[in-house]
Amino acid sequence: MQHKVPAGLDHKEAEVYRHLDPARLPKHIAIIMDGNGRWAKRRHMPRVAGHRAGVAAVRSTVETAARIHIPALTLYAFSEENWKKRPKSEVDFLMRLLSRYLKAEVPTLNKNNIRLEYIGRQHELPQDVQERMAWAREATAPNTGMVLTLALNYSARSELVDAFRSMVNAASQNGGIEHLHIDEDAVARNLYTRHLPDPDLVVRTSGEMRLSNFLLWQLAYAEIYVTPTLWPDFRGVHLLEGIAEYQKRERRYGGLNHGEAPRRIDVDLGKVHT
């Protein structure tokens, strides 16, 4: 397969990209970033050093995904469980890291035409972090390229609970509960991810074979790629390796042959290059 390699890929990335079929890139990739603590432990460093090192992995992955024109990338930055069950000092560190990342990265996101979105219970995050998030979202809102969604204080079960609550509330304000109509499209339209197509590929780093309460509804037909690489060591080239593995799979969506994806709600990714 010989095709043009997008500008900006490094030598190793270009090598993997050359073997990909550009017509069959995933439209949405979701990543469970895992292994920061183990990365730090192996180096006899505090856990937070792993989170700090994880930012370079985020930067590389986001830039490579944008360069090859992936329309949507979603990163599981931290779960509701991380938020509630980890020591306050670690959570505070993650909050500061996120705030700093947003402030520092907005110019690069704009340069790469990337629009920022969030999923998760944002209203439970510290006020100053919420304000920084809103600022970064607004600053990148006009961008028409990749949609980068950060899952923050996210839980798939809470997302489903919130979706059911919002359907019931909408019905009770619109003529009463007898007007409640629930089907798959209605659920999908009430998820935090209503701005996105379902992921085609979910990547998990550090070798764990779990979904950990991430996008349980949306990942119904996703291909799962698990790499032993710990998140702080993950780079754009590893993302491309995951896509290469994805392209080897036969997607059947419950049918017998190469199938059509099940009907999904229409999503508006803006003027995304596909």
Active-site residue set: 34, 82
Concatenating the DSSP letter of every residue in 236-258 gives: HHHHHHHHHHHHHSPP-TTSSSS
Q: How far is the CB of 196 from ligand FPP (least distance, A)?
A: 17
Sign of CA dihedral 172, 176, 179, 180: positive
Residue 114 neighbours by CB under 8 Å, 6+ apart: 62, 66, 140, 143, 145, 146, 147, 148
The number of beta carbons lying within 10 Å of the beta carbon of residue 8 is 14
Residue 35 binding ligand FPP, by CB under 6 A:
yes
Select the span of 73-81, 114-122, 168-176, 185-193 touching ligand FPP (CB under 6 A). 73-81
Select the span of 77-85, 124-132, 254-262, 265-273 touching ligand FPP (CB under 6 A). 77-85
Q: How far is the CB of 32 from ligand FPP (least distance, A)?
A: 8
DSSP tag of 263: P
Select the span of 7-15, 74-82, 179-187, 216-224 touching ligand FPP (CB under 6 A). 74-82
Sign of CA dihedral 238, 229, 159, 139: negative
Name which of 129 and 269 has its Cβ closer to ligand FPP.
129
Which one among 12, 18, 38, 251 touches ligand FPP, defined by CB under 6 A?
38
Question: Reduced to 3 states, what is the DSSP secondary structure of residue 206?
Answer: coil
CB 42 within 8 A of CB 175: no
Residue 225 binding ligand FPP, by CB under 6 A:
no
Which one among 93, 101, 154, 234 touches ligand FPP, defined by CB under 6 A?
101
- Taking the C-alpha atoms of residue 48 and residue 93, their distance in angstroms, rounded to an integer, is 7
Residue 36 binding ligand FPP, by CB under 6 A:
yes
- Taking the C-alpha atoms of residue 102 and residue 135, their distance in angstroms, rounded to an integer, is 9
Site string (182-221) toward ligand FPP, x via CB under 6 A: ----------------------------------------
Q: How far is the CB of 8 from ligand FPP (least distance, A)?
A: 21
Which one among 214, 231, 234, 246 touches ligand FPP, defined by CB under 6 A?
231
Q: Where are the alpha helices (DSSP H) in 112-207?
A: 127-140, 156-173, 184-189
For helices 47-67 and 88-111, what crossing angle results, to 10°?
20
Select the span of 53-61, 117-125, 153-161, 254-262 touching ligand FPP (CB under 6 A). 53-61
- Taking the C-alpha atoms of residue 158 and residue 80, their distance in angstroms, rounded to an integer, is 9
Instruction: Name the residue with the smallest CB distance to ligand FPP.
Output: 37
Residue 120 binding ligand FPP, by CB under 6 A:
no
Which one among 5, 97, 186, 224 touches ligand FPP, defined by CB under 6 A?
97
Residue 78 binding ligand FPP, by CB under 6 A:
yes
Q: What six digits make up the tokens of 210?
A: 């779990």
Please give the residue ranges that form the binding site for ligand FPP (CB under 6 A): 33-38, 51, 54-55, 58, 75, 77-78, 82, 97-98, 101, 150, 231
